[in-house]
């Protein structure tokens, strides 16, 4: 979907502790942005935005930025500037770019040398748009230099007739001396605003023609994102303003955009009958349609003007076998209606941008579209076919726990997508280990993945070469023992949309177990989660920890020890639980083998700062316990 002030850069899967996150990163303000960003490399002396909404809803925004360069990172960061604009519905004018050097000398950038280029293309989520960039190289920057530039951007026509919706971020992450957002609206036009991250109310100036609202921030320190915490768009103070009176108005507007493109033609109707004919139940029919759209409609976005909001005709999507999120959702809903299933488009903000505020109606807050299926109970089930690695009934982490707008025949339904429990996103690891007298071990492992883990593994399976897959297994076993030798490995259900992804491998490792006289010492489980320590390295947190989903890891290890050996020591079982999650271990001896079980479960969708101490206790306890799980065998 296309948004007035968002320049989408899609990072498909960010990986942390084997935890998949499908993320969308946004450059939230329509200012000229540097090629490289670092929060500690500069100080913003002035961030001044003046925006005027005309009577015909033309939107004119003038921005003036004055930035002091603090170090070499700042020089690199501002070595070039890019001014984004839409070629079809937007005009851009750069007034000046100048550099005031520490000795007072002023360098004026020749605006005739600005180059026009297309926005960067992303292979993982190809989006073709009419967004262009005016770029300028900034030579002569040194430590202490001041970069001063001003430009104007004009939106010629509103995407939603007789309405405006806008936002402004007051500064960025860098230290800030002064930030001003001045918005002028014609008198008599309805508006509503919401502030985020600050409490200062605007100064309101009225005359016979206009109302002007002025927000100001002074002398704000640097804002520092925290590891696994919210991004810039969450922690930088900002304001959202909209003239849209109700969500029904948004729903009506969107329904009008789609009314002529959602009816399937004869070819599409025939195809729907063909792929569902052999399915006996309604659920089987839904899954067959879901699998087709998710697996066979390639993701390609066309973001030209109103087409950033308006889906393509469902028959064209079907014929060309490609489309973006709104095309996927529209085609899926249209096909489901042909088999008697009530399905509706859903506008949704993914987890990398602030959530939809139900009190401020505007289409501006959405960066994605999925589908809602109405169940017999009247409740909604959500599906995202743009992820071809997500099984039906599941949702990518970026879609979970979000306020959404369901378009039900031109009427608005406000709902919230589910946050799945830890049992939904799981790793189930079964290890069969034989320990030998000389201290060597042989291991066979079977690992099942579910939910978010399953999605990530499927993504790797489909995107990595056979060599890289093998190297991944090698890296895994080498983390267990540097002496490990891979025996064999295999993957199951990599292309399935119904069965969990399964990874199998076996290896041998010399000198894994410690040996002293007649005693053999073995650490279990074979792997520990030391990465957890990185998440709780801070003494305290200002912002929440955002894994993006709840998760659990279950491990079962069966150890066969050498003949004529008996176990003389094994650790006590533990059962630790707090607000954030739980960790439990248990030992049993059965048929001459020792069996170790552990379950680690975390409510990690969002861990509030108030629960950070509990998270530290849980994670540190888990790490310490797993690191000290040593078994001692003695020869009889």
> SS3 letters for 126-142?
CEEECEEEEEEECCCCC
Report the relative pairing of strands 203-206 and 210-220 from DSSP bridges.
Answer: antiparallel
C-beta separation of 293 from 328 below 8 A: yes
Here the tokens at position 383 are: 């599906």
C-beta separation of 373 from 280 below 8 A: no
User: Does position 2 have pLDDT exceeding 90, yes or no?
Assistant: no
C-beta separation of 171 from 226 below 8 A: no
Query: CATH 2.60.40.3140 spans which residues of the chain?
Result: 31-243
Here the tokens at position 50 are: 């003046």
User: Does position 613 have pLDDT exceeding 90, yes or no?
Assistant: yes
- 3-state helix, strand, coil split of the chain in percent (to 5) is 20, 40, 40
Question: Distance (Å, rounded) from C-alpha 622 to C-alpha 532?
Answer: 9
Class of 422-635 per CATH? mainly beta
Question: Taking Cα atoms as reference points, which of 407, 303, 216 lies closest to residue 4?
Answer: 303
What pLDDT score does 385 carry?
95
Chain mean pLDDT for the chain: 88
What pLDDT score does 1 carry?
43
Question: Taking Cα atoms as reference points, which of 622, 596, 434, 430 lies closest to residue 512?
Answer: 434
pLDDT in tens, 194-247: 999 988 899 999 999 999 999 999 999 999 999 899 999 999 999 999 999 999
Q: CB-based burial of residue 636 (10 Å sphere; 0-12 exposed, 13-18 middle, 19+ buried)?
A: exposed
pLDDT in tens, 474-483: 998 988 888 8
User: Does position 585 have pLDDT exceeding 70, yes or no?
Assistant: yes
CA dihedral for 339, 342, 348, 351, sign (positive or negative):
negative
Alpha helices in 383-526 (DSSP H): 452-463, 466-480
User: Does position 270 have pLDDT exceeding 80, yes or no?
Assistant: yes
Question: Distance (Å, rounded) from C-alpha 175 to C-alpha 224?
Answer: 10
Query: CATH 3.10.620.30 spans which residues of the chain?
Result: 250-413
| CATH number among 3.30.930.10, 3.10.620.30, 3.30.365.10, 3.30.950.10, domain 250-413 | 3.10.620.30
> Residue 146: enclosing H or E segment and its boundaries?
strand 146-155
First-last CA distance in the chain: 70
> CB neighbours of 491 closer than 8 A, spacing ≥ 6?
461, 469, 501, 502, 503, 504
Question: Taking Cα atoms as reference points, which of 524, 519, 526, 620 lies closest to residue 573?
Answer: 524
Query: CATH 2.60.120.1130 spans which residues of the chain?
Result: 422-635
pTM (2 d.p.): 0.88
Architecture of domain 31-243: Sandwich (2.60)
What pLDDT score does 125 carry?
58
Question: Distance (Å, rounded) from C-alpha 409 to C-alpha 337?
Answer: 13
595 CB-side CA count, 13 A: 8
Q: CB-based burial of residue 567 (10 Å sphere; 0-12 exposed, 13-18 middle, 19+ buried)?
A: middle
What pLDDT score does 19 carry?
31
What pLDDT score does 354 carry?
92
> CB neighbours of 473 closer than 8 A, spacing ≥ 6?
486, 489, 503, 505
């Amino acid at each position: 979907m296309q948004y007035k002030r968002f320049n989408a850069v899609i990072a498909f899967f960010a990986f942390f502790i084997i935890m998949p996150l499908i993320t969308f990163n946004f450059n939230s303000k329509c200012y000229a942005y540097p090629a490289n960003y670092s929060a500690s490399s500069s100080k913003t002396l002035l961030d001044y935005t003046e925006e005027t909404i005309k009577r015909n809803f033309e939107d004119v925004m003038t921005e003036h930025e004055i930035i002091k360069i603090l170090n070499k990172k700042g020089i690199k960061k501002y070595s070039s500037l890019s001014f984004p604009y839409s070629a079809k519905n937007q005009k851009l004018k750069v007034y000046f770019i100048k550099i005031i050097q520490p000795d007072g000398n002023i360098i004026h950038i020749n605006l005739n040398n600005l180059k026009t280029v297309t926005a960067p293309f992303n292979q993982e989520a190809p989006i073709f748009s009419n967004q262009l960039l005016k770029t300028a190289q900034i030579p002569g920057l040194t430590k202490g230099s001041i970069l001063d530039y001003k430009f104007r951007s004009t939106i010629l026509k509103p995407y939603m007739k007789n309405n405006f919706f806008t936002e402004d971020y007051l500064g960025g992450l860098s230290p800030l001396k002064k930030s001003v957002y001045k918005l002028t609206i014609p008198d008599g036009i309805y508006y509503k605003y919401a502030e985020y991250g600050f409490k200062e109310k605007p100064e309101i100036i009225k005359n016979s023609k206009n109302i002007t609202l002025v927000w100001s921030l002074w002398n704000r320190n640097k804002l520092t994102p925290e590891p696994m915490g919210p991004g810039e768009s969450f922690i930088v103070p900002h304001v959202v303003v909209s003239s849209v009176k109700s969500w029904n108005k948004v729903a009506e507007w969107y329904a009008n955009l789609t009314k002529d493109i959602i009816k399937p033609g004869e070819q599409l109707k025939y195809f729907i009958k063909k792929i569902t004919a052999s399915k006996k139940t309604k659920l089987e029919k839904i899954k067959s349609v879901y699998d087709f759209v998710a697996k066979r409609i390639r993701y390609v976005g066309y973001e030209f003007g109103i087409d950033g909001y308006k889906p393509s005709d469902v028959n064209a999507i079907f014929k060309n076998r490609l489309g973006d999120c709104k095309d996927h959702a529209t085609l899926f809903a249209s096909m489901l209606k042909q088999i008697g299933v009530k399905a509706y488009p859903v506008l949704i903000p993914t987890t990398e941008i602030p959530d939809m505020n139900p009190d401020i109606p505007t289409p501006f807050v959405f960066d994605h579209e999925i589908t809602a299926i109405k169940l017999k109970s009247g409740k909604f089930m959500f599906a995202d076919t743009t992820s071809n690695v997500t099984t039906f009934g599941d949702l990518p982490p970026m879609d979970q726990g979000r306020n959404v707008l369901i378009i039900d025949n031109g009427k608005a339904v406000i709902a919230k997508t589910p946050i799945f429990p830890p049992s939904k996103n799981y790793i189930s690891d079964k290890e069969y280990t034989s320990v030998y007298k000389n201290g060597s071990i042989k291991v066979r492992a079977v690992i099942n993945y579910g939910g978010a883990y399953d999605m990530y593994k499927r993504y790797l399976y489909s995107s990595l070469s056979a060599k890289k897959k093998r190297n991944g297994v090698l890296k895994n076993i080498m983390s267990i023992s540097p002496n490990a030798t891979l025996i064999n490995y295999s993957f199951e259900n990599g292309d399935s949309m119904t069965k969990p992804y399964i990874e199998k491998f076996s290896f041998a490792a010399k000198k894994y177990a410690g040996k002293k006289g007649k005693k053999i010492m073995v650490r279990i489980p074979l792997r520990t989660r030391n990465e957890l320590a990185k998440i709780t390295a801070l003494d305290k947190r200002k912002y929440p920890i955002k894994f993006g989903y709840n998760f659990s890891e279950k491990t079962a290890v069966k150890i066969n020890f050498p003949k004529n050996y008996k176990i003389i020591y094994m650790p006590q079982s533990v059962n630790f639980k707090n607000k954030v999650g739980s960790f439990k271990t248990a030992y049993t001896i059965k048929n001459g083998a020792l069996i170790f079980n552990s379950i680690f479960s975390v409510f990690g969708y969002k861990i509030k700062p108030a629960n950070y101490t509990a998270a530290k206790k849980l994670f540190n306890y888990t790490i310490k316990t797993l690191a000290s799980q040593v078994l001692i065998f003695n020869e009889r």
